[in-house]
A and B are shown apart, each in its own frame.
Chain A
Amino acid sequence: MAPVIEARGLRRSYGSTVALDGIDLHVEEGRIIGLIGPNGAGKTTALNAILGLIPYEGQLTVLGHDPWKERDQLMLDACFIADVAVLPRWIQVSQALDYVAGVHPRFDRVKAESFLSRTTIKKGSKVKELSKGMVVQLHLALVMAIDARLLVLDEPTLGLDILYRKQFYDSLLNDYFDRSRTIIVTTHQVDELQEVLTDLMFINRGHIVLACSMEEFESRYLELMVHPEKLAAARALKPMHERQALGRNILLFDHVDRKQLVTLGDVRTPGIADLFVAVMADKQGNQATLPQGVVPGEFR
């Protein structure tokens, strides 16, 4: 099976700012990938290149297409929600349904209407009359009713309350995802994604700083809430990051045997957000940009 996305040395700069600095990507079918990075890391640039919205240097193939040259062909098999509300304000809900049904041969109108029937959105409303959350719901209903092989979601749940976010990820998994589809999602609410993702990718300053599957993530990274008297022993195992919470030291380890750690305190799988902070601190080597309460660990 050909990969869904194959990129070699993907590079994009805006003037003197390098947004993507030669990244390599290899994405197989049936994955749900979380692309996570701070603001300005190059997430949206990478997604825009994959979707054929911006030119780039390097090699890139998405579902067998060159996205920059064949965007309209690619959009038969791929769909996306951009990071800002982009539904035109003048369009009526029923017109949006008509239009997508008209131009997209893989749009299932019944499915879209059933998603909409679970919301309070009226078909006669115009987008400008809907609340921010309702616009996102409408866009998701349109996109999830498209039988696409690749779905790209750039901050899909921005502006939604926690109940709807939960509902969204549930329906993404239960109603939408199957092994013939691939989903790439970026979000700042990373911990909500932990149960959803199959793969994790951290991006910073145009580089991919970490790429692993969730199994690898769970077997590789362990978080230890260390017993105070064992702190020195734990630090000797070279944690990649250390922080303090509730008066206890929490150490994050990479590739350290679980059996060794359980003798030193309580061991658990770290949250994606904690690993993210650790990896970013590790790469940047300074704590000036980190949230309060975070101390830099011993670097590998």
Chain B
Amino acid sequence: MNTQSRPISQSFETNGIAPAALSPTRPIYWSLRREFWENRYLYILPSAVAAVFFFGYMISVIHSPGQLRALGFMYNHDEISGPFDISAALLMATAILMSVFYCTEALHSERRDRSILFWKSLPVSDATTVLVKASIPLLAIPVLVAAINAVMWLLMLLLGSIVVLATGGSIAALWAHVPILRMSVLALYHLLTAHGLWPAPVYCWLLLVSGWARRAPFLWAALPIVAIGGLEKIAFNTSHFAGVIGERLFGSTAPIASTTVFPTDPMTHITPGAFLGSPNLWIGLLIAAVFLALAVRLRHNQESI
């Protein structure tokens, strides 16, 4: 093509185009915000679960305040901390559900609605996008759920204290049995280890399949697991594979020493050193990294569906 120009009316911005520097953290930050814009359930759902539980707790203590006061005097630890443990367990189950749902959709919905063409029209690499998406179940959901859990516990404790005070009891026993600061730190530790790092290979597998499947990514992700588990059962009448997957997904006791107490119990003995030194953790993380690398490659190579 020749280089002559056709005369056209135009505004001259002859100072040219300045070179642009791309700060590496900005795409990461904005990609993360984008995930929360798209997936508002990530904070709405655990907040709603916490609110519902708090409402139930409120009815329970107002309905029989004497019981709470009496419990405080009886130093019955399990009965005081029971609602705190149950509420935390509910939020952890919510975290697992959200992570599974998020991972099966994360790389699928952008291809389904073809918005991947919009995301790819911007200077954000496929690796950034995939890693940010992986950080949602591995990091963001545990931290967020632990924070919501801590707020819920604080409100429960304040409500319990008001009721105990109003009925003439002493709150010292109540506060001694639920040291929520320590419990919240334990909850954060548990969520990050048992619900973040430990199940990483399962979540990254779901992410990979969501970037590969043309439709029904959850079915495609579950199919090989069911098939391998079923084959093992028929061939050897064992269920090790299903056991490994289940143990990965539904929380492990690897981060703590004892299996007899609830992971956020103040008496729990945590063993971060042993956990971080366990080969099983690193084998899992290695598998997760391979799945993520494949997912990045797939997003680079694949066109929208």
Contacts and interface: CB of A to CB of B under 8 A. Distances in A.
Interface in A142-178: 143, 147-149, 173-175, 177-178
B12 interface: yes
B37 interface: yes
A26 B4 CA distance: 14
B10 A177 contact: yes
B240 interface: no
A273 interface: no
Given A75-B123, A103-B123, A178 B118 contact: no
A216 B115 contact: no
Contacts of B2: 213, 216
Interface stretch (B13-21, B59-67, B70-78): B13-21
B303 A215 contact: no
Given A90-B38, A100-B122, A30 B8 contact: no
Interface residues of B, number: 47
A75 B1 CA distance: 24
Chain B contact surface mostly:
loop
Contacts of B120: 51, 53, 71, 75
A99 B26 contact: no
A174 B11 contact: yes
Contacts of B27: 102-103
A180 interface: yes
Contacts of A173: 8-10
A72 interface: yes
Given A178-B14, A179-B5, A180-B16, A76 B22 contact: yes
Nearest to B8: A173
A18 interface: no
Contact of B12 (A48, A147, A178, A198): A178
Interface residues of A, number: 61
B126 to A, nearest CB: 8
Nearest to B122: A103
B197 to A, nearest CB: 28
A88 to B, nearest CB: 4
A105 B6 contact: no
A87 B4 contact: no
Contacts, number: 138
A79 interface: yes
A275 B53 CA distance: 72
Interface string B114-136: 11111011111110100000000
A249 B106 CA distance: 60
A292 to B, nearest CB: 34
B85 interface: no
A149 B117 contact: no
A28 interface: yes
B7 to A, nearest CB: 10
B123 A213 contact: no
Interface string B17-43: 110111100110111011001100000
A73 interface: yes
Nearest to B16: A180
B1 A27 contact: yes
Interface string A126-147: 0000000000000100010001
Interface string A93-112: 00100111011111000000
A82 B117 contact: yes
B10 A149 contact: no
A211 B122 CA distance: 30
7 contacts: A55-B301, A73-B123, A75-B124, A76-B20, A99-B34, A211-B1, A215-B6
Interface of B: 1-6, 8-14, 16-18, 20-23, 26-27, 29-31, 33-34, 37-38, 110, 113-118, 120-126, 128, 300-301, 303
Interface of A: 26-28, 30-31, 33, 48, 51, 53-55, 71-73, 75-77, 79-82, 84, 86-92, 95, 98-100, 102-106, 139, 143, 147-149, 173-175, 177-180, 195-199, 211-216
